[in-house]
Structure 1
Amino acid sequence: MIWRRVLESINGFCECTGEDLDLSIRLRSKGYRIGLIDADVYSEVPNTYLAFKKQFSRWLFNSIWNMKHNLRLLLMSNDVSMWEKVDGVLWMLQFPSMSFAALSILATVILSVIGVLIPPMLYYSLRY
């Protein structure tokens, strides 16, 4: 539930598919509180790999879209605590970071197969 005047104060819904994250960030950055209902929630899950891939791509795009449009708003807000800012940034980074982790694993496997070894940065720092 959201009051109409509150929704109007943040310029309504975005023209995006990730309106839940967008709305949450804009509401919190204006000082509004967001509550959660402590009850079971049922949702439809993808039943094929292709459907999962499309859903994950949508979540990834929404996270990046929100970072582009709302990161500055979140970080510059005086109504949001430092911990909420950190939490908001981590929330927006969760799907992009999963993609980078998968790419990192793939790159490591490919480099290992062709015989290239890149030591970790900690090794370099301890060496000198």
Structure 2
Amino acid sequence: MFSLSAAALFALVGLVFLFFPDAALIFFNRFSVYFGLPRAPLPGTGFYLILASAYMYLVALLAILMYRYPEQNIYPFLLAQGKLASSVISIYLFLMHQPYLIYFVNFVVDGLIGIAALYLMKMKKTEV
């Protein structure tokens, strides 16, 4: 169920990135003030919008493949790698670039998703 839910959520976030590119930043910028953090600039459309949307498509596809082929460990492994890379880059940018709330939230959320995918892999190995 994790895989199917994750696929739907990833697809939804990808569509938000594609059709409402500033929505996530506007949402988190509203809360940045409460944490004493600067507001992230709104990028609008551009090259990174393409990459963000394509990334969300890819992780949604991996989650669908995890759901359809639960015996395969490669799909959760790849999902974990993508989400953990995103998490590490997010905390790096939070610490070294600007302490934007969106960076920190992405660090936490993608880190948890990456850890959950690794946990699913471990569970599958112990079932066999």
After TM superposition, the score normalised by the length of structure 1 is 0.37
Higher helix share goes to which structure?
2
After TM superposition, the score normalised by the length of structure 2 is 0.37
Structure with greater Cα Rg: 1
